[in-house]
Amino acid sequence: MNRPMNREVFITAAITGSGATTDKSNLVPITPEQIANSAIEAAKAGAAIVHCHVRDPETGAPSRDVGLFREVTDRIRASDTDVVLNLTAGMGGDLTLGSVEQPLPVDEAGTDMAGATERLAHIAECLPEICTLDCGTMNFGEGDYVMTNTPAMLRAMAAGMRDLGVKPEIEAFDTGHLWLAKQLAKEGLIDAPALVQLCMGIPWGAPNDMATLGAMVAAIPEDWVYSGFSIGRDELPYVAAMALHGGNVRVGLEDNLYLSKGVLATNEQLVERAVTILEGMGARVIGPDDVRERLKLEKRMPAG
């Protein structure tokens, strides 16, 4: 199924992620203040949505600390820059087996497994407009690490998001994840219009070639809203690829650290480059109010 080029595109800026990137670039934000400020600058540059993880302010390690999410949320909402807030809910499904010969007991240092309620604790506290729902289990990178999201866990988390009034952003790393997402929607656990993020080129999910991207797009129902990205040096080419495939785009330091070869980027610069690419293609970059209308989101106000 061919989709026409999208000429009304929104940009998501993925601000910091949870990967081991802070030792590779001093521009990756770590503290809540740095993350919020980077999100605000990305929004000013043209991002309609900011996707935020949090990190331990002392070590830069990924964190599920509700207080850190609360501070990031409050800082963004207290600013004079409007943006749709998207918080990760992917943490708490990290499983690292002991070894190939003795998988149990698990490697405790690399394992962080939490129940559905705990994985959504910061979502219930902050009530972002959107949060992520990683719709599958997969080998993610190397070694004995597995990103773990069982069907039962996903059903419970999707129900929790629905009850909180927070829109899930379905993170699809392969075609089977879209299959499961469609089942969740059929069961009434994901409300229309569903929102999908195609996560391409991440070992060992869907490769980022155009044939695979075309297959992923073809598997998305026509009335769903979708976006996509690839990682590393393919992040910026995917801005054009997603628009040409009828979708929206994501850029940011979660997925790529460089503006060009050897030149470290900020989130703001990556968004600016995406805007340049899209406008050069004849597309219009839309803002947060247009996104809220498209996704049927209720704008969240600052606390107090």
Per-residue confidence at 303, pLDDT binned at 50, 70, 90?
A: low
pTM, rounded to two decimals? 0.96
Per-residue confidence at 301, pLDDT binned at 50, 70, 90?
A: confident
Whether the CB-CB separation of 89 and 157 falls below 8 Å is answered with: yes
| 39-70 per-position pLDDT tens digit | 999 999 999 999 999 999 999 999 999 999 99
**Cα atoms in the 13 Å half-sphere on the side-chain side of 38:** 28
Burial 97-129 (b: 16+ CB within 10 A, else e): beeeeeeeebeeeebbeeebeebbbbbeebbbb
What share of the chain in percent tops pLDDT 70?
A: 99
Using CA atoms, how far apart are residues 99 and 294, in angstroms rounded to an integer? 47
Predicted pLDDT at 136: 93
Please compute the mean of the pLDDT values over residues 247-274 and round it to a whole number. 97
| 126-159 per-position pLDDT tens digit | 999 999 999 999 998 889 999 999 999 999 999 9
Distances (CA, A) of 243 to 85, 106, 153, 253: 22, 42, 32, 20
Whether the CB-CB separation of 137 and 180 falls below 8 Å is answered with: no
Beta bridge partners of 94: 112, 147
Instruction: Please determine, for residue 1, whether its predicted confidence score (pLDDT) is greater than 60.
Output: no
Q: How many CB atoms lie within 10 A of CB 46?
A: 20
| 15-28 per-position pLDDT tens digit | 999 999 999 999 99
> Rounded to 10 degrees, what is the CA torsion of 229, 235, 236, 242?
-20
Q: How many CB atoms lie within 10 A of CB 18?
A: 17
Distances (CA, A) of 67 to 56, 63, 129, 201: 11, 10, 18, 32
Q: Over the chain, what is the mean pLDDT?
A: 96
Using CA atoms, how far apart are residues 91 and 7, in angstroms rounded to an integer? 34
Domain extents in the chain: 8-91+127-134+165-295
| 78-129 per-position pLDDT tens digit | 999 999 999 999 999 999 999 999 999 999 999 999 999 999 999 999 999 9
Using CA atoms, how far apart are residues 145 and 155, in angstroms rounded to an integer? 23
Does the 8-91+127-134+165-295 domain belong in CATH 1.10.1740.10? no
Using CA atoms, how far apart are residues 298 and 84, in angstroms rounded to an integer? 10
Per-residue confidence at 299, pLDDT binned at 50, 70, 90?
A: confident
Kindly state the tokens that stand for 44.
């000013």
